[in-house]
Structure formats: C-alpha cells, structure tokens
Amino acid sequence: MNALKSLLVGACVMALTPMAAQAAEKNAAGFVSYASHDELVKAAKAESGTLMVTFAQTQSAVDEVVKLFASTYGVKAAGQEVGNSDSRILLELKAGSHKSDVVHLEEELGLPTYYEHMYKVDLLGMAEKKILKMPVKMINPKQPNVAALGSALAAVTYNAKALPADLVPKTYEDLLNPKLKNSGLLWVDVSQASGIAALFVVWGKEKVIDYSTKLGEQRPVWTTGATRSMTAMAAGEYAIGSLNHYHSLIRIREQRKAPHLQAALLEPVPVRLNNILGINGKTAMPATSTLFIEFVASDKVQAIFDREGPVKASVFTEGSLPNKLVEGKKIAFVGWDDVDQIEPLQKQIFESWKFPVAKK
C-alpha cells in the first residue's frame, strides 16, 4: 500500500511540475520553439541548475552580461571568455563532455563541424514571429539554431603623425602607390588576412588575389600579430598597415592614449560575423539558453559589446557603433553562405605573397 501511495504521489508531482518540454513544440525538422515569450520564460524558470555560457568578450564584459541576465530573469548563471579555447571546446563538444550550455562557434574551425553538436532550437522561426526580440538577420537561415550576435569591421590603419598627408588612402588601390614601395612605411600582418579575403564578396576571388599579389610586390614590412604591429605603429615604427581589425585599432588607441592612430573605412567596408553562438546539444537548460541568446541581442548587451569589444556589436543592431560606421557605405558583408570561404582564401593570399617554403 505504501509503495502504491508513493507512486501516486510521485505521479501527481510530475503532473504539476511545469516542465520545459511541455511548453515547447517541434517542427518537422525537429527544431524546438515556444508559443510565446511568456512560455519561454516559464520554461526557463522551471529548469534547475546554473546556466554556463562561453562567448568572445573580455572576462569583465562576460561577467557584466551574465550578472545582468541573472538579475533580469532571476536565474543562476556563470560565464567564461572563450580566449584561445575554441579548439578544445570543439573537441569536447564532439566527445559530449563540454559543460557550457551556450557555446561560441569559431568560423576558422569550420562552422559545419559544430552543427551536429548543437541543440535544435528554432531561433529563426521565433524571431520571425517576434517571440524572440532579436534581428532576424543575426540568425543563420540554413541553420536556425545558430546566431551571430556581433560583427567585426576591417579598416586600413595609419599613424597620422608619420604618414604624409598625400598618402592617406581613399581607396584600396592607394596602398599600391609607388611611394610606399619598399619605403618601410607600409606593414602587412602575415598572421591573418581576413579583411582582404572578405573583399571577395564584392570583388570576386580573382580580383582579391590580384590585389594581394600587387600588395606583396610593394615589399612591405612583414609583421606577425595586429596588436603588436599597431602598438609599434603607435610608437612611430611604421606609418600605415593594410586591412586590419577595426576594433583592435580602437582598443590600442584607447589603451595607449594615441589619438594619432587612425582608421580609414574604405569601400567596400569588410564586415564579418562575430560572436557566433549556439546551444550545446547536451544542455539540461535549453529554454534558459535560448533566453540568454535573445538577451545578448538586446540593446543593453549590444552596448556592452560596443564599449568593451570595443566596437563589436552587431551591424544589424540599429544604433550600434558598427551600424553607424557603415551607414551609407558600400560593404563587403561576409554572410552565412560566405563565411567558410574566408579561411581557404586567406591561404591563397598568403601563397600570393610568395614566402619561402622549406622543401623536404
């Protein structure tokens, strides 16, 4: 009798518990969605545990975002900056051992390698129906459970004190000016060429390789690492760099108190996806994770991305710094269909610079 009573009590408790699964429904492709934002919040509050998130910001920014999210929805949450952990995270996802609920996807490792390990939630459908308050363009239309919550611009950087006024570029072709050839003024970072590669969405790959070849023929100073190179440029070691991360220049200018470090946002302005997030397929908190991704798209968090990134909010967030910077300009937007072409194109650019290669 006692055993039967226990079973009946347990069944009643289960019936009364507002499980997340009861508030969700699946479409034909198996992607979960919620009928309303209120239902999503209810489902999140029914989940137990501490939400773990990982994304690409400074640890102080991660902590600020997580604290704001926890206080807004009354849930427990903790966060970690991704740093240089992308390769390890991907291996852990493949092994089913990664602990974060919301994870950062690194495009250079190949976005498709992540997809089978992501929880299937229909961010796109819910954003289109206004259940989630976030720009639809943030979300991958072919993989509706993945979203880019930030953007990265690229610009030609220069030292206004060291670069003659007549050499300040107005077009990309200005970097091919004969006055810059073998001058010691121009530097090119050989560790990444994503900004140059991004131009292919407007120029085409053939023109990009032709341009990178001519840039190499300028015999620039070859450097490694944009941060180190721009720091040296701030000190007057170089005068102008080829396309580099705009946010890196702003960060170094602020840190070094170097207003003479300037950026030329030439057209088309390269714009890449940044802070690509998805939900770990092993999560026990899918509703809370979904709520967090929406929260990162909010104006409050986008302002944090602009302040702490710096300038790394989404170009699709109205009023964000990237949005304002490219307003009225032609852009080379590396979208979801283009992102996986950047890494192989970078390799072709490096090859066009004809560095010596050791023979076996």
Per the DSSP assignment, residues forming a β-bridge with 79 are 53
Q: How far apart are CA 332 and CA 326, in angstroms?
A: 10
Whether the per-residue pLDDT at 7 is higher than 70: the answer is no
How do 261-264 and 102-105 pair as beta strands?
Answer: unpaired
Is residue 31 in a domain? Answer: yes
Same domain, 127 and 201: no
DSSP SS3 for 262:
strand
Same domain, 209 and 348: yes
Is residue 357 in a domain? Answer: no
The pLDDT confidence band at residue 24, using thresholds 50, 70 and 90, is confident
Same domain, 145 and 280: yes
Arithmetic mean of pLDDT, 125-143: 98
Same domain, 58 and 207: no
Same domain, 70 and 166: no
Arithmetic mean of pLDDT, 224-249: 94
| CATH code of the domain in which 225 resides | 3.40.190.10
Same domain, 211 and 315: no
Expressed in angstroms, the distance from the first to the final Cα of the chain is 80
Tokens 């060291």 sit at which residue?
Answer: 162
Per the DSSP assignment, residues forming a β-bridge with 222 are 188
Same domain, 203 and 293: no
Domain count, the chain: 2
Arithmetic mean of pLDDT, 268-287: 98
Is residue 359 in a domain? Answer: no
Is residue 11 in a domain? Answer: no
DSSP SS3 for 127:
helix
Same domain, 157 and 230: yes
Same domain, 187 and 95: no
Burial of 109 (0-12, 13-18, 19+ CB in 10 A): middle
Length of the chain: 360
Tens of pLDDT, residue by residue over 30-51, are 999 999 999 999 999 999 999 9
Which domain covers residue 209, as residue numbers? 152-271+338-352
DSSP SS3 for 110:
coil
Same domain, 258 and 342: yes
Whether the per-residue pLDDT at 14 is higher than 70: the answer is no
Same domain, 204 and 343: yes
Q: How far apart are CA 319 and CA 335, in angstroms?
A: 20
Same domain, 348 and 288: no
What pTM does this model have? Answer: 0.89
